Amino acid sequence: MGESKSKKTNNKYEFQSEVKQLLNILVYSLYKHKEVFLRELISNAIDALNKVKFTQLTDPDIEDSNLELEINISIDKKNKKLIIEDTGIGMSKKDLVNNIGTIAHSGAVNFLKKSSKLAKDEKVDLIGKFGVGFYSSFMVAEEVFIYTKSHKKGSKSLLWKSKGDNSFTIDKTDNITRGTRIELLIKNDEKEFLEKSRIQSIIETHSKFSQFPIKLENEEIKSADAIWSQPKSNLKKKDYVEFYKFFENTSEDPESYIHISSDAPVQFNSILYFPKSNFEIYGIAKKDPNIDLYSNKILIDKNSKDIIPEHFRFIVGIVDSMELPLNISRESIQSNIKIEKIRKYLVKKIIDELLRMKSKQYDQYLNLWKNFDRNIKEGIINDFDNRKKLSNTLLFTSSKTEKDEFTDFEKYKGGMKDSQKEIYYVSGSDIASIEKNPSLEIFKKNDVEVLYLTDPIDEFVFEHLREYDETKFKLIESSDINLEKPAESDQDEGSLKDLNNFIGYLKTIYGDKIEKIEISKRLIKSPCILLNPADGPSVQMEKVMKMMNKEYSFSKRVFEINPDHKLINQLVNIHKNDPASDYLKKISLQLLDNLILREGVFDNFDEMVERINDIMLKAAENIGKK
């Protein structure tokens, strides 16, 4: 993560290079929502207060242990300062250097690396979505002062100071009480942030769910109760949305939410949100899960890793259970039987909500699917117990869906022919290339639907599911599929013999490159096709295996030829008249190479190019003769 330690000269330090980048973006862009700096500072203060509250449970002997846990905001108009003070956990010198001089989120750093192409405004907008953090204060302040004293007994009072350029200083300062006091010297053109009414409305909009009192010029701002412990009938959609925005430090609405109040097997309340956007697709790895665990309104595990399975890491919210001990450690959370029960319950509710959205609010579900389909698929692979239920949330394009339309297993089964025994699928890198797959021809001709798998993870999902509602999945490239091709010209005995002779010839020149050669009953437009031996892995799957293990060798395939295709007829003729023809051999070899080429696993280009040139020369000579 770049330089992990800030460079130091006496008490002057340099910001980590990523911080410099971030500051540069924040300070010089014309971000529309500068007021979010206050939300970020209050959110940090709340975190710091939560930490003190939690520490006090096990260790009451901390610095200034009798202080009220609260946030005080004041305005010093004369000196152009906005002051945010908390009685939270405070910071030691080491904390200041590590937390304020560097970016802890690997996500933010990744984002900065990847985002060099984005315009500044777009960047801030995105940064805003995953929390701009403390540094956003430099959007409105020309200088920031942090006075702080750690909760550890005998800590020194410190002053951190920076103009948001490349460096900051840390010095000892006159004694203060435990906690952190942030003074912002407000820029001349941001004077609105020195107006009490403006500050009040920002707090009311962004921070009214604070569990700790927030006082502005000594008056307490009315706060809202912990909404998760209120009865659902008291709450409107607006309340849930506001709480989400506060909780996630975001200006975006959630896609959906659920409020759970359970009495058995464990008594707990929970609100879970399904977000609208996914930052993982910007290359921003989620640093932690987003669920906070409370015991009777006391935060006991922020970003709890064990309350929800990893594949649902995009879900945001809180869980509060009186049945959990307050002084629970990370290890004991992992093995706590009640946590395990809550987790099971949450997973069930989450899947129920996904299914509800899919059937009742399809457009919203579609957006969720486009953002988080990978998470759902991971769930199918990892969660054996819920695999079947989750399979109902999957969406597919198929040989019968229109552009931008999707189908699912249930619809697929509803449209199956009476004689159809299996759910057919094909995989490929995108729809366009799948559509050119010769294996599809017979399915289209017979009006049998085929599901298109375009995400590399899809085949693993199918491997794990194996079937839907007792109907097995079948790759259309399997050699043992018997869809009847409408009869064309009947082969008379003589021509069947010629055909079989030609097949014998192909066997000699293909050698052990293929498993066997057969007369195809499925090809309509293409001369030939490569198929998987019955129930063997697909080429897509084998490519993945090859990627993971260089030694892996592709399995041998079944080569089928289309006896009704003009090219094949020509070749059978040539073979009958001149089995030693050099061109017959070249064209026959090229037939196979074309198929391998199409599958994207070809590696013998030099020989092939030479051969094609020869074939082209012959063709050109013939055309020239006419």
DSSP line for 190-244: GGGGG-HHHHHHHHHHHSTT-SS-EEETTEEPP----GGGS-GGG--HHHHHHHH
Q: Which of 55, 126, 134, 340 binds ligand ADP (CB under 6 A)?
A: 134
Q: Which stretch binds ligand ADP (CB under 6 A): 127-135, 192-200, 290-298, 599-607?
A: 127-135
Q: Which of 22, 36, 48, 596 binds ligand ADP (CB under 6 A)?
A: 48
26 binds ligand ADP (CB under 6 A): no
86 binds ligand ADP (CB under 6 A): yes
The span from the CA of 476 to the CA of 466, in Å, is 15
Minimal distance in Å, beta carbon 242 to ligand ADP?
Answer: 20
Closest residue to ligand ADP, Cβ-based? 133
Minimal distance in Å, beta carbon 15 to ligand ADP?
Answer: 12
Q: Which stretch binds ligand ADP (CB under 6 A): 43-51, 160-168, 316-324, 559-567?
A: 43-51
Q: Which residue has the tokens 């610095």?
A: 63
Nearer to ligand ADP, 15 or 369 (CB): 15
378 binds ligand ADP (CB under 6 A): no
Minimal distance in Å, beta carbon 339 to ligand ADP?
Answer: 25
The span from the CA of 320 to the CA of 292, in Å, is 8
| Angle at which helices 582-598 and 493-510 cross, to 10° | 70
133 binds ligand ADP (CB under 6 A): yes
- Report how far apart, in Å, the C-alpha atoms of 73 and of each of 91, 270, 334 are: 19, 31, 39
82 binds ligand ADP (CB under 6 A): no
Q: HEC string of 74-142?
A: EEECCCCEEEEEECCCCCCHHHHHHHHCCCCCHHHHHHHHHHHHCCHHHHHHHHHHCCCCHHHHHHCEE
258 binds ligand ADP (CB under 6 A): no
What's CA 196's distance to the chain center, in Å? 41
Q: Which stretch binds ligand ADP (CB under 6 A): 126-134, 299-307, 361-369, 514-522?
A: 126-134
Residues in the chain: 626
Q: Which of 36, 38, 42, 45 binds ligand ADP (CB under 6 A)?
A: 45
112 binds ligand ADP (CB under 6 A): no
Q: Which of 69, 75, 82, 91 binds ligand ADP (CB under 6 A)?
A: 91
371 binds ligand ADP (CB under 6 A): no
Nearer to ligand ADP, 149 or 543 (CB): 149
478 binds ligand ADP (CB under 6 A): no
Q: Which stretch binds ligand ADP (CB under 6 A): 40-48, 332-340, 372-380, 530-538?
A: 40-48
Residues in Cβ contact with 570 at an 8 Å cutoff, skipping those fewer than 6 apart: none
Are the CB atoms for 75 and 196 separated by under 8 Å? yes
164 binds ligand ADP (CB under 6 A): no
101 binds ligand ADP (CB under 6 A): no
Q: Which of 99, 177, 229, 594 binds ligand ADP (CB under 6 A)?
A: 99
Nearer to ligand ADP, 41 or 450 (CB): 41
Could you give the count of Cα atoms lying within 13 Å of 346 in the half-sphere of its Cβ? Answer: 32
Q: Which of 38, 52, 100, 503 binds ligand ADP (CB under 6 A)?
A: 100
The span from the CA of 550 to the CA of 379, in Å, is 28
Nearer to ligand ADP, 45 or 517 (CB): 45
Nearer to ligand ADP, 44 or 391 (CB): 44
What's CA 568's distance to the chain center, in Å? 48
Are the CB atoms for 149 and 90 separated by under 8 Å? yes
Nearer to ligand ADP, 23 or 100 (CB): 100
Residue 55: other Cβ atoms inside 10 A:
14
Per-residue exposure over 304-335, b if at least 16 CB sit within 10 Å of its own CB, e if not: bebbbbebbbbbbbbbbbeebeeebeeeebee
Binding to ligand ADP in span 211-250, by CB under 6 A: none
292 binds ligand ADP (CB under 6 A): no
Minimal distance in Å, beta carbon 243 to ligand ADP?
Answer: 19
Nearer to ligand ADP, 299 or 503 (CB): 299
Nearer to ligand ADP, 52 or 514 (CB): 52
88 binds ligand ADP (CB under 6 A): yes
Q: Return the DSSP state at 313.
A: T
Nearer to ligand ADP, 135 or 244 (CB): 135
3-state DSSP assignment of residue 256: strand
Tokens of 357: 């959205």
- Report how far apart, in Å, the C-alpha atoms of 624 and of each of 12, 99, 614 are: 83, 78, 15
Give Rg (Cα) of the chain: 33
89 binds ligand ADP (CB under 6 A): yes
Q: Which of 14, 18, 35, 40 binds ligand ADP (CB under 6 A)?
A: 40
Nearer to ligand ADP, 98 or 261 (CB): 98
Residues in Cβ contact with 56 at an 8 Å cutoff, skipping those fewer than 6 apart: 62, 65
The span from the CA of 300 to the CA of 186, in Å, is 36
145 binds ligand ADP (CB under 6 A): no
Minimal distance in Å, beta carbon 82 to ligand ADP?
Answer: 14
Q: Which of 101, 131, 275, 317 binds ligand ADP (CB under 6 A)?
A: 131
Are the CB atoms for 258 and 300 separated by under 8 Å? no
The span from the CA of 405 to the CA of 582, in Å, is 50
The span from the CA of 85 to the CA of 281, in Å, is 37
177 binds ligand ADP (CB under 6 A): no
316 binds ligand ADP (CB under 6 A): no
Nearer to ligand ADP, 43 or 407 (CB): 43
The span from the CA of 427 to the CA of 611, in Å, is 30
85 binds ligand ADP (CB under 6 A): no
Nearer to ligand ADP, 148 or 478 (CB): 148
Q: Which stretch binds ligand ADP (CB under 6 A): 132-140, 231-239, 514-522, 610-618?
A: 132-140
Per-residue exposure over 9-29, b if at least 16 CB sit within 10 Å of its own CB, e if not: eeeebbbbbbbebbbbbbbeb
Strands 516-519 and 558-561, how do they pair? parallel
25 binds ligand ADP (CB under 6 A): no
Count of residues that bind ligand ADP according to CB under 6 A: 17
Q: Which residues contact ligand ADP (rule: CB under 6 A)?
A: 40, 44-45, 48, 86, 88-91, 99-100, 104, 131, 133-135, 180
